[in-house]
C-alpha cells in the first residue's frame, strides 16, 4: 500500500490555470483604475474617500487579526461578535474563506520554502506575490489541518456563503452608505474595487516582500525577514522573521516601537473583553533565539504545532 504524504498530490500533479480567478483579478484591476479616474475627473467626495479608507482598515484587520492571528494561528480567543467581524470583512477581502485561507497558511508554515509551500518564495517574487493564486490546487484542502476551525459554526457558515457575503459586505453595504451623501456608485467602487486591489497587494506583500526584504534577527532557517517598510503597508505583518520563528505570538512587531497596528488592535480588544488569552513568547526565549541567529546556528524546532514554537 502506498503511503504518500498529504501534500504529495500538490507536487506531483501539474497545476491548471484558474481562468475564473485570472479573469476576476484582471477585471478588478481595470475597475480599480476606473475608480481613480472617476475620483479625479468626475467626483471626489470626502465621504467616499473616507469610506474607502475605513473599509480598507476594517478588511485589512479582518485578515491580519482574524484570518492570520486568530484562525490560522490561534494566538488569542475572540468572542462570537469579533469572530463575526473577522468573517464578514474577511469575505469582503476576497481571499477565500477563513477555512481555506488557514489551510493554505498552515501548509506554508509547515513546508516553508519547499515545493509543497503554496506561495514558495524560492520560486521567485512574482510567484509568491500573485502567481500562485492563478492556478488551481492540485490537491483538496487538507481537512486534518483545520478540524479545529470546522468546529466553529460561524466559520462553516462563512465557507458556505462566501460569495454572497463578499458581494454584500464588499459592494452592497458601501453602495447603501453612499446613498446618504448621494454617491452610491463612487462609494461602491472606492470601498469595493479600489480598496480590494490595494488590500490584495498589501496582503500579497507578506508572501513576497517579507521573504526578500529586511533582516533575520530571530531565525535563519527560512527566507522570512523583518522589515519596517513591509510592516507599514501590511498593518504590522512585515516583522515576518519573528513571526516564522514564533507563530504563536499575537504580536509580529515584538518591540514597543515596532509599527504593528494589529498588535495594538488586539491589545485594545482585550481591554474591551472582546479578546482573551493573548499569547506572548517569554522575553528570555526571544533573546535566546536572537543569540542563536547571531551565532549563525539553525534553531531546533520547538513543540507546539501550528500555534507554538516554530511551525
DSSP string for residues in 236-303: TTTBHHHHHH-TTSS-SS-STTS--HHHHHHHHHHHTTSEE------HHHHHHHHHHHHTTPPPPPPS
In a domain, 164, yes or no: yes
Residue 304 has a pLDDT of 35
pLDDT for 1:
40
Q: Rounded mean pLDDT of 252-262?
A: 96
- The pLDDT score that the predictor gives to residue 33 is 97
Question: Beta strand pairing status for 77-78 and 275-276?
Answer: antiparallel
Three-class secondary structure of residue 137 per DSSP:
coil
| pLDDT on residue 307 | 36
Provide the b/e sequence for 31-51 (b: ≥16 CB within 10 Å). bbeebeebbeeeeebebbbeb
pLDDT (mean) for 257-268: 97
Q: What is the pLDDT of residue 309?
A: 32
pLDDT at 111: 93
Comparing CA positions, the residue from 209, 208, 174 lying closest to residue 190 is 174
Number of domains the chain is built from: 1
pLDDT-derived band at 63 (thresholds 50, 70, 90) equals: very high
Crossing angle for the helix pair 80-92 and 46-61, to the nearest 10 degrees:
120
> Looking at residue 15, what is its pLDDT?
72
193-252: pLDDT as tens digits: 999 999 999 999 999 999 999 999 999 999 999 999 999 999 999 999 999 999 999 999
Q: Is residue 306 part of a domain?
A: no
Provide the grid cell at 241: 522573521
Q: Write out the three cell numbers for 111.
A: 513546508
In this structure, is residue 7 part of a structural domain? Answer: no
pLDDT at position 133 is: 93
At residue 299 the predicted structure's pLDDT band, cuts being 50, 70 and 90, is low
pLDDT band of 141, cuts 50, 70, 90: low
- Judge whether 302 lies within some domain: no
Predicted local distance difference test score (pLDDT) of residue 295: 86
Q: Is residue 176 part of a domain?
A: yes
The tens digit of pLDDT for each residue in 1-40 reads 434 444 444 444 457 899 999 999 999 999 999 999 999 9
Q: What secondary structure letter does DSSP report for 79?
A: -
The pLDDT confidence band at residue 137, using thresholds 50, 70 and 90, is confident
- pLDDT at position 2 is 39
Whether residue 169 is contained in a domain is answered as: yes
Low-confidence winner among 30-44, 118-132, 138-152 (lowest mean pLDDT): 138-152
* Position 132 pLDDT exceeds 70: yes
For residues 186 and 142, the model is more confident at 186
- % of residues, the chain, pLDDT over 70: 89
pLDDT surpassing 70 at residue 125: yes
Q: Which three cell numbers stand for residue 252?
A: 509580529
Query: Which comes out higher in pLDDT, residue 144 or 116?
Result: 116
Residue 271 domain boundaries: 12-294
Q: Does residue 2 sit within a domain?
A: no
Amino acid at each position: 500500500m502506498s503511503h504518500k504524504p498529504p501534500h504529495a498530490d500538490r507536487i506531483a500533479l501539474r497545476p491548471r490555470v484558474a481562468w475564473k480567478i485570472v479573469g476576476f483579478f484582471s477585471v478588478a484591476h481595470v475597475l480599480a483604475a476606473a475608480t481613480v479616474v472617476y475620483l479625479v475627473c468626475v467626483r471626489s467626495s470626502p465621504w467616499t474617500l473616507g469610506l474607502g479608507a475605513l473599509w480598507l482598515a476594517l478588511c485589512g484587520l479582518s485578515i491580519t487579526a482574524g484570518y492570520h492571528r486568530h484562525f490560522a494561528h490561534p494566538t488569542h480567543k475572540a468572542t462570537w461578535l469579533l469572530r463575526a467581524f473577522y468573517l464578514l470583512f474577511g469575505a469582503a477581502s476576497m481571499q477565500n474563506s477563513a477555512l481555506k485561507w488557514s489551510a493554505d497558511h498552515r501548509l506554508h508554515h509547515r513546508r516553508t520554502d519547499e515545493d509543497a509551500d503554496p506561495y514558495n518564495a524560492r520560486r521567485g517574487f512574482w510567484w509568491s506575490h500573485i502567481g500562485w493564486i492563478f492556478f488551481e490546487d492540485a490537491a483538496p484542502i487538507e481537512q486534518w489541518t483545520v478540524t479545529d476551525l470546522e468546529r466553529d459554526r460561524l466559520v462553516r457558515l462563512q465557507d458556505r456563503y462566501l460569495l454572497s457575503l463578499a458581494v454584500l459586505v464588499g459592494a452592497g453595504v458601501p453602495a447603501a452608505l453612499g446613498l446618504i451623501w448621494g454617491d452610491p456608485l463612487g462609494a461602491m467602487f472606492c470601498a469595493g474595487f479600489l480598496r480590494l486591489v490595494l488590500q490584495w497587494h498589501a496582503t500579497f506583500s507578506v508572501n513576497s516582500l517579507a521573504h526578500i526584504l529586511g533582516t533575520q534577527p530571530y531565525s535563519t532557517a527560512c527566507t522570512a525577514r523583518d522589515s519596517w517598510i513591509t510592516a507599514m503597508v501590511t498593518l504590522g505583518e512585515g516583522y515576518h522573521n519573528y513571526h516564522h520563528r514564533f507563530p504563536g505570538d499575537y504580536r509580529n512587531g515584538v518591540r514597543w516601537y515596532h509599527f504593528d497596528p494589529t498588535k495594538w488592535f488586539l491589545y485594545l480588544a482585550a481591554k474591551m473583553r472582546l479578546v482573551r488569552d493573548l499569547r506572548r513568547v517569554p522575553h528570555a526565549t526571544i533573546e535566546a533565539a536572537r543569540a542563536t541567529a547571531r551565532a549563525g546556528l539553525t534553531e531546533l524546532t520547538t513543540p507546539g504545532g501550528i500555534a507554538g514554537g516554530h511551525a
